[in-house]
Amino acid sequence: MAKIYVDETFCKGCGLCVDACPLHLMQLDKEKMTVKGYHPAVCTDQNRCTACCSCAMMCPDVAIKVVK
């Protein structure tokens, strides 16, 4: 099982990871806001993640870490 970590101090809520995820597991957390005023990315189902790393590769701010 993979684990997705999003560093909210770097995430600016651009949504590129949301578009990149082939299983549509990434989304912007509309219930949460970072100190900088952005809705951070979150993985909705860690158990279904295949650790393809598409989200991490697409992130321009290197805010996503995938651990297998």
Domains of the chain: which residue ranges? Answer: 3-67
| pLDDT (average), residues 45-56 | 97
**From CA 23, how far away is CA 25, in angstroms rounded?**
5
Closest C-alpha to 23, from 5, 46, 7, 57: 46
pLDDT-derived band at 1, boundaries 50, 70, 90: confident
- pLDDT, mean over the chain: 97
Question: CATH says 3-67 is which class?
Answer: alpha beta
Count Cα neighbours of 50 within 13 Å in the Cβ-side half-sphere. Answer: 6
Contact 54, 22 (CB under 8 A): yes
